[in-house]
Structure 1
Amino acid sequence: MAFSATFYTCSSPSFAFSCKTQRPIFAQISKSLVVRASTALDYSNLSTSSWQWKFKDNKINIYYEEHEGKSSDSSKNILLVPTISDVSTVEEWRSVARDIVQRDGKVNWCATIVDWPGLGDSDRPKIDYNADVMEKFLVDFINAPDGPISSSDDDLVVFGGGHAATITIRAVKKGLVKPKAIAAVAPTWAGPLPIVFGRDSSMETRYGLLRGTLRAPAVGWMMYNVLVSNEKAIESQYKSHVYANPENVTPGIIESRFVLTKRKGARYAPAAFLTGLLDPVQSREEFLELFAQMEGKVPVLVVSTEGSPKRSKAEMEALRGAKGVSKFVEVPGALLPQEEYPLTVAAELYQFLQENF
């Protein structure tokens, strides 16, 4: 997510900043199934569960949801991966998933939405989160013999928001996963601070100090509560960067995201995201090269947004007509169009599915 802040660099290892984040910088989702944007949709075929991810010495419970349409016979799978942020949650994809699986067509679609480790309703252990860890999780979730994705890779389509899309494409480039198609919705590659302040050695030192402070036992929670875990900060972030129309930011959305920031371990993964450790690449050139590697291998849809913050918008626009991008469309919204304008996004995604299946 893009991030605007006043960040004072100084010779001493201290920070003073006021922030407006794209989406609160650290958080997750409550297990209550809050249905927002499309209350007319049928959620009766929603099932929730957890899958245990074994990472080093950790056993991490991963929360996921499965949405089925009128028939699950001969169905193909869609994996929907939330945008990484401080309040990343499966909730952002629910209305899109339900709209797609309920459509009548030649293909029956089954949708799985999964929370990242350290975010959403998944466990949030104090591990060293970085882009490699997140990529390994995604690869393991897709490929696990005992995992929720029951069909072969050849039948799988992946929809990812923000960093999730770029991490998916990075894994495809390495040959670790082989989806049939990919949709990148408001794709990003730089965390809030790096996209604003860059990555020179001086700033990287300060990012490290901030990250260490946020992970500390007592002062970490204090700073986290000031920057992220309060309703005014979350509301400000949503109205200024996450949503394009401030009127779409309801009290219910703010409350559900605020709950996420109070979960045990809530600050660890967001601390990594804020300071750039979850960035899958380090430059626009690398970003474009990832997509270029998809040329002739995997159809890729890029969904840009009309109201994205200036810096994030520039990265999305760089993909317009870029090698490896099969189709480029623009929809209303900012950094979370799949939640703010779910039916519009669902229509574009379904059209993409029809064109490729």
Structure 2
Amino acid sequence: MATLTAFIASPAILNLSRSRFYGTRVVGPIRIQCVSSSSSPSSSVVSSKKAAFLEKPPVETKTGTWQWRFQDNAVNVYYEEHKEEGASNGKNILMIPTISDVSTVEEWRTVAKDIVMQKGKTDWHTTIVDWPGLGYSDRPSLNYNADVMENFLVEFMNASDSPLKNLGGDLVVIGGGHAATIALRAAAKGLIKPSAIAAVAPTWAGPLPIVFGRSSDMESRYGLLRGTLRAPAVGWMMYNVLVSNEKAIQSQYKSHVYADPNNVTPDIVESRYALTKRKGARFVPAAFLTGLLDPVKTREEFLNLFAEIDGKMPVLVVSTSNSPKRSKAEMDALRGAKGVTKFVEVPGALLPQEEYPLTVADELYKFLQENFGSNM
């Protein structure tokens, strides 16, 4: 217990607002609306796209749950589909939210709707799915790790009863943060075979390992913290101190999740806070914070994932101009890397698809048009 106390007493644990405790990933979702200040680099894009929204046909949205069977568990996983009203199924996109304590499909809604409403040669159908243990999916007390999350993604994409199976046609996977890297790892193993992958602000190292390293002593401390967070009573108390409080959420959003602190509204903080109060909310964060959801352990392994799928499918990397230093270094390492078909940089920090959704949607749509626009 003394070791755990010393670990928790570290300034990087107690003061989330001044540390990079969440510095290698992002924190999840917001409402459907676009959030942008007049001084943001994408304000002109937002204004023009808002006007365009009014001229386009409405988007048809369908929600549902899919049952993921893992070991002896049946986990109801939430998903939603977006397509232009009246349009036939064309080509398909699977969007997967960034893994975090407040992750949810809402992170991608504006991006999904904007791509669907584009008037090009191809009609796009988008599906957004919540990870098990996060968002609006069930949150059972599983022993979550990167392999478990990869298993879910593979099953969701390949199962005969998956919502994706009825769509047909090309399937492009778009993910943020750790989600993108898990998808890349599954593709490198040949477990999934998407037509293309877009990695938005991709990350691979969990908050504590990036700050404190992975020595055997630190791994022991991570295990102690993880066990405490998962415990029935004291776990909720610890979770409330470290994660589930509005001040901590506001702090992390303003310091490194969003690029512009003015975009962090009370509504955003309140909605994120509500997600941390759902039953079982602490189990995935306990794994994520302590590095169990890290798809790789080194930058070399990270780069190798891209190299493994070189020539097999187009890969877009969307970096951000205001990511935390450590996260940006990993993204910048992908510029010109083997297997990266296209590298772009957009405004934002760790959650550009939520803070500047229309800018991100523009880059994604360009990538889609370049690779699939004429393949009807």
Same fold (TM over 0.5): yes
Q: Which residue of 2 aligns with 1:4?
A: none
- 2:328 matches 1:328: no
The amino acid across from 1:141 in the alignment is F
- CA deviations 1:17-53 (Å, max 9, x no partner) are 3142438999977xxx942217955765111111111
3-state secondary structure, aligned to 1:204: helix
Residue deviations 1:182-237 (CA, integer Å, cap 9, x gap): 00000000001111111111111111100000001111100100111111110001
Q: Compare the two structures and name the one with the higher helix fraction.
A: 2
State the partner residue of 1:12. 3
Residue of structure 1 in register with 2:357 after alignment:
342
Taking the TM superposition and a 5 Å limit, the aligned residue runs for 1:286-297 are 286-297=301-312
Distance 1:89 1:131, change over 3 A: same
Residue identity (%): 69
- Deviation, 1:152, is 7.2
Residue number among 182, 185, 189 corresponding to 2:200 in the alignment: 185
For structure 2, the 5+ residue unaligned runs are 36-45
C-alpha contact (below 8 Å) 1:71/1:108 kept by paired residues: no
Determine helix, strand or coil for the equivalent of 1:12.
helix
Q: Under a length normalisation based on structure 2, what TM-score does the superposition of the two structures give?
A: 0.87
CA RMSD, Structure 1 to Structure 2 (Å): 2.2
> 1:298-327: CA deviations, max 9, x gaps?
110000000000000000000000000000
Q: Is the 8 A contact 1:299 1:325 kept in 2?
A: yes
- For the pair 1:37 / 2:52, whether they are aligned, the reply is no
Query: Structure 1 residues 313, 24: closer, same or farther in 2, change over 3 A?
Result: closer
CA distance in 2, matches of 1:169, 1:220: 32
Alignment match, 1:97? 112
Does residue 275 of structure 1 match 2:272?
A: no
- Partner Cα distance (1:278, 1:265) in 2: 17
- Alignment counterpart, residue 245 of structure 1, candidates 247, 253, 260: 260
Contact persistence 1:23–1:86 (CA under 8 A):
no
- Relative distance call for 1:44 and 1:154 in structure 2 (3 A) is closer
2:27–2:351 CA contact under 8 A, matched in 1: no
- TM-score for the superposition, normalised by structure 1: 0.92
Task: Show the 5 A alignment for 1:118-157.
Answer: 118-150=133-165, 155-157=170-172
Structure 2 letter corresponding to 1:277: L
Over 3 Å counting, the alpha-carbon distance change for 1:27 and 1:83 in structure 2 is: closer
Cα pair 1:66 1:113 within 8 Å, conserved: yes
Q: Which runs of 5+ in 1 are unaligned?
A: 1-9
Q: 2:122 aligns with which of 99, 107, 114?
A: 107
In structure 2, do the counterparts of structure 1 residues 26 and 337 end up closer, same or farther at CA, with 3 Å as the change threshold? closer
Partner residue, 2:101: 86
Q: 2:41: which partner in 1? A: none
The match for 1:356 is 371
- Give CA-to-partner distance per residue, 1:163-188, whole Å, 9 cap, x none: 01100010011111100000000000
**Amino acid corresponding to residue 32 of structure 2 in structure 1:** V
Deviations 1:140-180 (A, max 9, x none): 00111111113578610000000011000100111111000
